[in-house]
Amino acid sequence: MAAMTEKLQKLAEQHQEEMITIRRRLHENPELSMKEEQTTAFIKEQCREYGLKEADVELESGAVFLLNPEKAEKSIIFRADIDALPVKESTGLPFSSKASGVCHSCGHDIHTTALLFCARILSCIREELDGRVIFIFQPAEEVGKGANMVIKSGLFEKYPSQMIIGIHTWPETPAGNIGIRRGPFMAASDRLHITVRGKGGHGAHPHKSVDPVLTAAYILTQLQSVISRNVPPLQSAVITIGRITGGPAANVIPDEASMEGTVRTFLPEIRDMIEQRVTEIATHVAASMGADCTVDYHRGGQAVIGDDQVVARIEQAGREELGEDGVTYLETPSMGSEDFSNYLSVLPGAMLRLGTSNEIPESHFPLHNGKTIFDERAVIVGGRVLSRIAVDYLM
């Protein structure tokens, strides 16, 4: 294995400049969910250049490729998402987004390149691997649709595998490191839409109306009591109302007001309780003020909870490639969500974080911020660690 370690290091060094160039190309040309046409075409071009075989599945966008398709007895899957966000980039980088109002402020360009790097490295040692590697370049993660599209394509029935591993950038972990965690990793994400119906009228005569805006405001404040009074103090949950709309003018009491928000949880029982309490509070507060309302509670992806054995494999590979100090244990999970969770209902798996922060303040900005600058060492680390995971499992 020492000889293989040296070979992996040489391959990483040989191709890392090429990968940074690829990352910058992807960063300059971001595409929104389900519009990743050029990104998909470029990925396919690269994978074919590496001698990979395209999987026999149909996807509207994105791509799946196989290394050693004939060695199917042992099989491991790696996944990267490829879509960008409707966010304006303000980094000032020489390779900033060329697409107006669209950028890779979640780091999916890094995910894609790290997986291409892994494919590049493993393609050079394919004969020494006693098994198959599947590379999923998934579309539409940001809108929560891509993972289900891949699952519905029949990939997992056609190409049975033992585990799946995903990657994600993380500004809270230093560049050069990976972050791991056992148990809950990212939260379930649900969407909330409340419509309050009252009786419209003139703003000067509120007593002749039933004000749905005021009612919505009361509902908004009362919803926060669910977190403080119904969620156990040692558990985590979030209710955020991010949008509230009402009437057309300052002096008009409208017939209707609405609010939209997100709910993040880890435990199924807390998720159930919050849905029930949100509905009870909204309908009862509205009734107490002479209004009525409907609650549309839409459940999104499940929480990402990694398989302990897969996490152990990631940790081992990280320490082998990066040294003991190269693996950071994440003390707390993220309340962010990931549709990678859908894959975990199909087979065991886990995610790892790619550290992206360094000495510049902008590298510490949160994800989805147009000013965030990602340290490109994450590309190299991601490619190396994924390659090592595959080698450890398939040799």
Looking at the fold, whether 272 and 308 belong to one and the same domain comes out as no
Rounded Cα distance, 290 and 210, in Å: 6
Mean pLDDT of 315-326: 96
Question: 218: which 2 tokens?
Answer: 């009361």
Alpha helical stretches, state H, 90-201: 108-123, 146-152, 155-158
Q: In terms of domains, do 271 and 358 share one? A: no
Average pLDDT, integer, range 338-364:
98
Per-residue pLDDT, averaged over 250-276, amounts to 97
Same domain, yes or no, for 74 and 198? no
Site of tokens 């040296």: 6
Please give the Cα distance from 92 to 94 (Å, whole number).
6
Are residues 136 and 151 both part of a single domain?
A: yes
Task: Check residue 382 and give its pLDDT.
Answer: 98
Read off the CATH number of the domain in which 224 is found. Answer: 3.30.70.360
CA–CA dist 194, 189 (Å, integer):
17
Distance CA 109, CA 29 (A): 9
What's the domain range around 208? 188-299
CA nearest to 390, candidates 147, 17, 46, 134: 134
Q: What is the dihedral of CA 12, 322, 43, 152, to 10 degrees?
A: 140
Give me the pLDDT at residue 3, please.
82
- Side-by-side strand order, sheet with 256-265: 237-245, 256-265, 188-197, 292-299
| Pair (284, 143) in one structural domain | no
**Domain boundary pick from 252, 279, 299:** 299
C-alpha–C-alpha distance, residues 89 and 105, integer Å: 7
What confidence tier does 149 reach under pLDDT thresholds 50, 70, 90? Answer: very high
Pair (72, 162) in one structural domain: yes
346 lies in the same domain as 310: yes
pLDDT tens readout for residues 44-78: 999 999 999 999 999 999 999 999 999 999 999 99
Q: Which of 284, 299, 314 is the last residue of a domain?
A: 299
Question: Of 299, 329, 353, which closes a domain?
Answer: 299
- Which residue is it, tokens 């009228």? 201
Residues in the chain: 395
Q: What mean pLDDT is predicted for residues 124-145?
A: 97
Q: Are residues 295 and 314 in the same domain?
A: no
- Based on the domain organization, do 9 and 152 belong to the same domain? yes
Residues 30 and 146 in one domain: yes
Domain check: are 68 and 157 in the same one? yes
Q: How many domains does the chain have?
A: 2
Q: Are residues 316 and 336 in the same domain?
A: yes
